[in-house]
């Protein structure tokens, strides 16, 4: 019995460490990797200290641009792979929390396996789609239990660009790929 306990304890500790190591890419409601609804913009560089953080800052309220863009914090791996784009709630405010995160790397995934490389069939089988909205170029799926939006290219749906034709879940082909995956923190 003693000989069995030691390997069992080692195996249990190994599983705990492996589970903790995966947190870097876990996605759930209000969480993308190490980012949460409480994370401020000034913490971004520390969280991604081994990656490149590119800040694209707006002119804020003092700028002359009538159509003001949001600040963006683009996160790239050292090799150049785009991981995430983070949008703050408040522009030009380092203490602002996160408004949204667009995911570009398929290692970021939910416990059901949803990631940027998922097909519509995988999305529909493992998530509850609460609403579908059309724009000129895409159909947007709303996943309430994740507080996420998923854009599908209208070309993948067999629909003409630049039309706002209503799209239903039944019209979407199983093999349609994700154009963008955004997790909302508000």
SS3 assignment for 116-160: CCCEHHHHHHHCCCCEEEECCCEEEEEECCCCEEEEEEHHHHCCC
User: What is the pTM assigned to this prediction?
Assistant: 0.82
Please calculate the CA angle 33-23-108 and round it to the nearest 5 degrees: 50
pLDDT for the residue numbered 14: 44
Annotated domain spans of the chain: 26-108, 110-186
Averaged pLDDT, 117-122: 95
pLDDT in tens, 55-110: 998 876 555 655 667 899 999 999 999 999 999 999 889 999 999 999 999 999 99
pLDDT in tens, 11-37: 444 444 444 445 899 999 999 999 999
Partner residues linked to 31 by β-bridges = 28, 36
* Beta strands in the chain, from DSSP E residues, in sequence order: 27-28, 31-32, 35-36, 52-56, 72-76, 82-88, 98-103, 131-134, 138-143, 148-153, 178-184
Counting Cα atoms < 13 Å in the Cβ hemisphere of 142 gives 8
First and final CA of the chain: distance in angstroms? Answer: 53
């Amino acid at each position: 019995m003693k000989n069995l306990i030691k390997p069992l304890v080692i195996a249990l500790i190994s599983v705990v460490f492996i589970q903790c190591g995966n947190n870097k890419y876990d996605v759930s409601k209000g969480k993308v990797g190490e980012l949460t609804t409480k994370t401020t913009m000034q913490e971004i560089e520390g969280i991604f200290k081994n990656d490149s953080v590119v800040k694209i800052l707006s002119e804020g309220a003092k700028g002359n641009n009538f159509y003001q863009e949001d600040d963006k914090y683009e996160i790239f791996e050292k090799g150049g792979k785009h991981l995430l784009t983070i949008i703050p709630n408040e522009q030009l405010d380092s203490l602002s929390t996160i408004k949204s995160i667009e995911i570009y790397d398929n290692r970021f995934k939910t416990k059901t396996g949803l990631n940027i490389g998922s097909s519509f069939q995988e999305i529909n089988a493992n998530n509850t789609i609460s609403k579908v909205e059309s724009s000129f170029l895409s159909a947007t799926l709303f996943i309430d239990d994740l507080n996420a939006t998923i854009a599908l290219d209208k070309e993948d749906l067999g629909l003409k660009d630049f039309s706002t034709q209503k799209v239903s879940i039944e019209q979407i082909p199983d093999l349609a790929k994700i154009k963008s995956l955004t997790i909302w923190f508000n």
